[in-house]
Amino acid sequence: MSSFSENQEAFATEVVAKQLAVPRPELQSRYNRLYFTRRLFEWLFSAVLIFGGQEFLLKNGLYSPVWPAAGVGLSALFLRGDILLLGIFTGSLVSYLFNNFPFTVSLGNSILFTANLWLIRFFCLRLFGSIAPMISTKICMQFMMVVVFFCALHTGWQYLYYPDLPWLMGFIGEVNGILCLTPLCLSLEPFTVKRLFVRGSLKAWLAGGAIVIGHGLFFFLPVKAAIPWALFLLGALYIYAHHFRAASTGMTLLGISVVYLTGALEPFQLFQTSYPLATVIAILGIFTWGTIIAILQSCRCTQVDYMPRP
For residue 302, the Cα-to-chain-centroid distance in whole angstroms is: 22
pLDDT in tens, 2-60: 555 666 666 566 655 554 555 566 666 776 777 778 888 888 888 888 998 888 888 77
Find, among 187, 1, 148, the residue nearest to 84 by Cα.
1
Confidence of residue 193 (pLDDT cuts 50, 70, 90): low
Range in 186-200, 224-238, 246-260, 289-303 the model is least confident about: 186-200
Mean pLDDT of the chain: 80
Amino acid sitting at position 103: F
Residue 288, pLDDT score: 92
Contacts of 133 (CB under 8 A, 6+ apart): 139, 140, 143, 144, 182, 183, 186, 187, 295, 299
Taking a C-beta distance cutoff of 8 angstroms, is the pair 158, 207 a contact? Answer: no
Confidence of residue 174 (pLDDT cuts 50, 70, 90): very high
pLDDT in tens, 97-130: 998 888 988 898 899 999 999 999 999 888 887 6
